[in-house]
Amino acid sequence: MTEVHPTGKITRIGIDDLFFSSTGPRGVIRQANSVFVRLSGYPRERLIGAPHSIVRHPAMPAGVYWTMWDALEDGRPFAGYVHNLAADGSAYTVFATVTPIPQGYLSVRITPSRPEHLDQANAIYEKLDDLERVEKRAGLTRRKAARASAVLLTELMREAGFDSYEEFQWRALADEVARREELSPGIPVRPDATRDLGTMLHAIGEVHAELRHWSSSQESLAELTTTLQRTGGRLRTQLDHTAAIEQLITDRPDTPAARNEGLLLWKQMQEIVHGYVVDLVEILGRLERHGAETRFRIALAQLHTAMIGKFTAELIDGDTLSLESAPAIATLAEALQQELTAMVDHYAAHQALAAESASAIERSGSIISIPRRLLMHWRNEAAAGGSGAEAELSEQIASSVEGVGTALEDLSRIVGQVRALSTPLDPSRARQLLATIVQSSLLIRA
Q: Please enumerate in sequence order all residues whose Cβ is within 8 A of that of 75, keeping only pairs 6 or more positions apart, or say none.
A: 100
Q: Where are the beta strands (DSSP E) in 194-343?
A: none
Collapsing DSSP states into helix, strand and coil, what is residue 406?
helix
Angle at 185 (CA atoms; ends 180, 188), nearest 5 degrees:
115
Q: How far apart are CA 402 and CA 409, in angstroms?
A: 10
Helix (H) and strand (E) counts for the chain?
Answer: 12, 5
**What's the confidence (pLDDT) of residue 446?**
59
pLDDT score of 198: 87
- pLDDT value of position 339: 87
User: Comparing C-alpha atoms, which of 287, 292, 308, 159 is closest to residue 230?
Assistant: 287
DSSP alpha helix (H) spans, 41-112: 44-47, 62-73
Q: What are phi and psi of 420, to 5 degrees?
A: -65, -35
Ordered alpha helix ranges (H), 93-164 = 115-137, 142-159
Nearest Cα neighbor of 54 from 66, 41, 69 is 41
What string of DSSP letters covers 332-368? HHHHHHHHHHHHHHHHHHHHHHHHHHHHHHHHHHHHH
Provide the 3-class DSSP secondary structure of residue 115.
helix
Distance CA 329, CA 153 (A): 34
Please give the Cα distance from 176 to 245 (Å, whole number): 47
Nearest CA among 274, 308, 300, 323 for reference residue 445: 323
What is the predicted pLDDT for the residue at 118?
98
- Do 288 and 274 meet the contact criterion of CB atoms below 8 Å apart? no
Say if strands 78-85 and 29-32 run parallel, antiparallel, or are unpaired: unpaired
Per-residue model confidence (pLDDT) at position 97: 98
pTM as predicted: 0.84
Nearest to 280 by CA among 407, 423, 417: 407
Q: Rounded distance, CA 277 to CA 282, Å?
A: 8
Domain boundaries, the chain: 1-185, 195-445
- Identify the CA nearest to 296 among candidates 363, 255, 342: 342
Stretches where the chain sits below pLDDT 70 are 1, 220-222, 224-225, 228-229, 232, 238-239, 241-270, 319-325, 368-372, 374-398, 400-401, 404, 411, 417-425, 444-446
Q: Which of 169, 279, 283, 179 is nearest to 225 (CA)?
A: 283
Residue 30 contacts residue 105 (beta carbons within 8 Å): no
φ/ψ of residue 186, rounded to 5: 95, -165
Helix (H) or strand (E) holding 110: strand 104-110
- Angle at alpha carbon of residue 70, lines to 68 and 71, rounded to 5°: 70
4: helix, strand or coil: coil
Residue 369 CB-half CA count within 13 A: 6
**Total Cβ atoms within 10 A of residue 402:** 15
Q: Which CATH superfamily is domain 1-185 in?
A: PAS domain (3.30.450.20)
DSSP H or E run through 248: helix 195-250
